A and B are shown apart, each in its own frame.
Chain A
Amino acid sequence: MKNYDGVSAELAAVDGRKRLNMDKVMTAVCFVLLLIIVVIPIVMIIFNAFFNEGRLELGTFVTQVTDGKNLDAMWNTLKIALGATVLGTVMGVFYAWLLGRSDIPAKGLMRALFNIPYMFPPFLGAMAWDMMFNGRSGYINKFLRTLLGLKTMPININSVWGIIFVEVSYYFPFVFMQVVSALERMDPTLEESARIAGARQRQVIWKITLPLVKPAISAGALLILTTSLAHFGVPAILGYARGIYTLPTRIYAVIYNSGGSFDGIRQGAALSVMLVVVVSLALILQNRILSAGSYDIIKGKSMRPTLIKLRGARVPLLVLAILTLVLIVIVPLVMIVLISFLKAYGLPLEFKNFTLDQYRTVFASNGTIDAIKNSLFVSITAGIICMFLGTLVAYVVQKIRPKGKGALEVISMLPYAIPGTVLSIGVILAWSGRIAGINLYNTIWIILVAYLARYLSFSMKTSSAALLQVHSSLEEAARVCGASHTESLKDITLPLIRPAMVSGFFLIFLPAMREVTTSILLYGPYTRTLGVQIYSLRDAGMIPQAAALATVAIGIIILLNTLVTRLTRDRKGV
């Protein structure tokens, strides 16, 4: 590998002597674009948190950080994130083991179903759970209260534990998917040799299997942790009205209450710094607890692992798995659809109260149509731009390897660890007229810029992985055949990584379509996204209408997902 790279470097040097080096141009373009998209917003946050009108001013920062409400929010953020991580990890590992190692029936189907919560927007789930178990008016709560003859509501979803519950049910697939694939790739003789050594099934699980998939568990847990810390939707829907804040919802509150004034944004910037510190601390903590070693556990001839016979537990565990799926996928979905037919929120769920009016209103309103159009526009545009830009950065980092490629890599990955809310503040600070008079505030473009920063790392990762598979000898072979550097890039490398680029696009397009965290801070009167529109309708008390739009959104998401699976099914990348 090294030798070949050496050769390409020499080849590149020869190219450079002849004419203007295309590699250098690409490198420069990368640096400039990343500077504009990623670096400037981040610098603006730090600058504005600590400086006012060019002078160091720590007052705002200190006030914000020592404010009781904000400290409470920070404490809640940590509690929720840690709770969701621990419970989500346990749940993910348990179901991964059940599907990967036991003889539970209907595995293929269940595996597909367990991936659904992953594409279901968590804030819609939170909406559904709120309809059912709201501490004051939840439908199932009311039903149970009458049934059991209670004075108070039996379950209050508008609590820290409620938020943790909803987040766990949508985030456990992060761990589940990682661990299932690790279990599948694991050499079964590693476990068999422990049996031969005299270990019981239970001992094998604790002493061999779990330690060996620890890196996968750790990677999944980290994803849950960072996602939960930065998450806006669920705590906003379940906690906001009850005064349970997390840092992302607190940032939103501060800015919303200040009516978008500069002072409010500065306070938001101070809180953002706080949130970033919390995320970094969590990352360090996670690293300490689960220092992720990577073992080579894939070896030998592929043999099917001996499946553990559940015997008597087979049926109960199957029922448990199905109930879990029903509870986290079907029940919320049904609830949202039911509510979307109601004439008014709060009416009993009886047929005489059902109507299609909500859908009529939704489709008749310009706001809704605009929201769908806006979401489609920014998601597709961000997907396409990121697809090319991410591939460009990946190419520069993997193949050109200029000085400072490390910095390039870190910068492009940075937004991955920075919460969407924080990124939005940075984008507001950067592009509302303070730099070169460019003011994108209240336009769709500011959302686009934020999406670019947020999702660039997604496409860069997939393109990077694909480029690593394209051996430099392939391009060299093209050069030997007489192709120029540009031609070999265009005719050999790009076609080979095209499938990865396409999947990179969908990796951005799909989450962007259901996104609410970033756009909630950036939308203007005419630039609501689909997520923002649902959120605002609900916020304004038009819950059945919000439910109707949510149903439409879920329909769109399911449609798009099926389309993507259809399209990518027979695409086998390098």
Chain B
Amino acid sequence: MSDQIVLRHVTKKFTTKTLGDIIAVDDFNLNVEEGECFSFLGPSGCGKSTTLRMIAGFEDLTEGEIELCGRLVSSRKKNLYVLPEDRGLGMVFQAFAVWPHMNVFENVAFPLRIQKVNKTDINRRVAEALHHTSLTGLENTFPGDLSGGQQQRIALARAIVTNPKVMLLDEPLSNLDPKLRETMRFEIKALQRKFNFTIIFVTHDQSEAMAISDRMMVCDMGKIMQIDTPENLYNRPCNRFVHNFLGESTFINVEIRDGKAFPKGSADQALPLTLPPQASREMVVATRPNEIALTGPDEDGYQTHIEKRIFLTDRTEYLVPVGGQLLKVQTPHRIAFSEGEKCSVHLVEPMWYPADDAEADKERARRQLV
């Protein structure tokens, strides 16, 4: 396997009227391997779309360089910038971007017509692309008469018809309804196996990214937080943000005194946990609500009671006071407690992070205004 997409020190600065300079993408370094499905995941304004647009060639970069299939396409140092049409990419956009004035056939044939492919080849290759996207028979239909799912298939067919090595998907499923989203996810993976292209998939939907990716990059406020496989990202998130962003999280702020972790607001009872090697005075304990053991009173764990019980469709949720905070616990329905009942909570292998970063929250709020 060789690296097919390489980003080195890629940085993008914007100057906005209201906020001044914003570093949208701050020193991104990553390698995507051939045939890999790689996701960019993060909240809006994290820099994922800007990065994709720099790879596509719609944005120039402020610093760094980008390499596609072993060829340098953007480089600030060498003052090199290859136009989007010369990068040989396939791309699918969130709003489909199928041309309403062309029928399905013409939409898909467009890239080939630009390449001046001969007529018989166009017919053959368009038919093939339509076949793989289940659009056969709709050649003469106009996109306006088709459903959102079908329009997105046209966009896919148009992207695969030139047989590109790299496929950029910019939130391609966000405009579809949930059921259809799942089907399309499978179809995209099936197409990838068939044509063996590398995918970069941009999304803000964590479950979608988890389901489709070999590896993913989680970013926030223009910085890469972590790059890893979905499993590792879920099980070993490197910071509180990644923990919170992937799956459900629940946090307890703790103070470390005498080698013990006291939840904030609780003077006398410590959490029965082994501290990490380098514990600072204030920390955050993070865990998943469904990985907390909830047992009867006086068993192993922190002694408390049930503050509130919420019946969710597939599980029961309890809010349990831990010091001055409420811990979220989710259990199967068979583990039933009533409100006010005494209980013990036991955290299984929680993650430890430094205490809340107020500065980061402020910066996040500022960026949301852009």
Q: Which of A202-253 contact B (CB under 8 A)?
A: 203, 207-208, 211-212, 214
Q: Which of B55-106 contact A (CB under 8 A)?
A: 56-59, 83-86, 89-91, 93-101
**How far is it, in angstroms, between the C-alpha of A495 and the C-alpha of B165 when the chains are bound?**
59
Residue A15, interface by CB 8 Å:
no
- Chain A residues within an 8 Å CB radius of B89: 196
B93 lies within 8 A of A212 (CB): no
**How far is it, in angstroms, between the C-alpha of A214 and the C-alpha of B339 when the chains are bound?**
66
- Chain A residues within an 8 Å CB radius of B115: 198
One of B58, B91, B94, B175 near A306 (C-beta < 8 A): B58
B91 lies within 8 A of A196 (CB): yes
**How far is it, in angstroms, between the C-alpha of A200 and the C-alpha of B94 when the chains are bound?**
22
CB proximity of A540 to chain B, nearest CB, Å: 54
Residue B155, interface by CB 8 Å:
yes
Report how many residues on chain A are interfacial, defined by Cβ distance under 8 Å: 26
Segment with Cβ contacts to B, from A291-299, A315-323, A396-404, A559-567: A291-299
A195 lies within 8 A of B83 (CB): yes
Segment with Cβ contacts to B, from A20-28, A99-107, A184-192, A414-422: A184-192
- Chain B residues within an 8 Å CB radius of A293: 101
One of A192, A198, A211, A295 near B97 (C-beta < 8 A): A192
**How far is it, in angstroms, between the C-alpha of A490 and the C-alpha of B321 when the chains are bound?**
56
B85 lies within 8 A of A200 (CB): yes
A198 lies within 8 A of B93 (CB): no
**How far is it, in angstroms, between the C-alpha of A197 and the C-alpha of B98 when the chains are bound?**
12
Residue A193, interface by CB 8 Å:
yes
**How far is it, in angstroms, between the C-alpha of A190 and the C-alpha of B85 when the chains are bound?**
14
A301 lies within 8 A of B99 (CB): no
B56 lies within 8 A of A196 (CB): yes
One of A192, A295, A300 near B84 (C-beta < 8 A): A192
B95 lies within 8 A of A301 (CB): yes
Residue A199, interface by CB 8 Å:
yes
Residue B158, interface by CB 8 Å:
yes
**How far is it, in angstroms, between the C-alpha of A300 and the C-alpha of B97 when the chains are bound?**
9
B94 lies within 8 A of A212 (CB): no
Q: Which of B17-48 contact A (CB under 8 A)?
A: none
- Chain A residues within an 8 Å CB radius of B175: 300
A193 lies within 8 A of B94 (CB): no
B94 lies within 8 A of A295 (CB): no
One of A198, A211, A299, A301 near B101 (C-beta < 8 A): A211
Contact with A along B139-154 (1 / 0, CB 8 A): 0000010000000000
A196 lies within 8 A of B84 (CB): yes
**How far is it, in angstroms, between the C-alpha of A259 and the C-alpha of B245 when the chains are bound?**
86
Residue B162, interface by CB 8 Å:
yes
A214 lies within 8 A of B84 (CB): no
**How far is it, in angstroms, between the C-alpha of A198 and the C-alpha of B101 when the chains are bound?**
18
B114 lies within 8 A of A198 (CB): yes
Q: Which of B99-147 contact A (CB under 8 A)?
A: 99-101, 110-111, 114-115, 144
CB proximity of B110 to chain A, nearest CB, Å: 5
A212 lies within 8 A of B95 (CB): no
**How far is it, in angstroms, between the C-alpha of A430 and the C-alpha of B168 when the chains are bound?**
69
Residue ranges of A at the interface with B (Cβ–Cβ < 8 Å): 187, 189-190, 192-200, 203, 207-208, 211-212, 214, 293, 295-297, 299-301, 306
| 18 A-B pairs whose Cβ atoms sit less than 8 Å apart in the complex | A187-B97, A189-B94, A189-B95, A189-B97, A192-B93, A193-B98, A194-B99, A194-B110, A195-B58, A195-B85, A197-B110, A203-B114, A211-B101, A212-B100, A299-B96, A300-B94, A300-B175, A301-B94
Q: A192-B97, A300-B95, A301-B94 are in contact. List 15 more A-B contacts (CB 8 A).
A: A189-B94, A192-B58, A192-B84, A193-B93, A193-B97, A193-B155, A195-B57, A195-B58, A195-B84, A198-B115, A208-B99, A212-B100, A212-B101, A296-B100, A299-B96
Residue ranges of B at the interface with A (Cβ–Cβ < 8 Å): 56-59, 83-86, 89-91, 93-101, 110-111, 114-115, 144, 155, 158-159, 162, 168, 175
Q: Which 10 A-B pairs have the closest CB atoms?
A: A300-B95, A197-B111, A295-B100, A189-B97, A193-B97, A189-B93, A299-B95, A195-B84, A196-B91, A198-B114
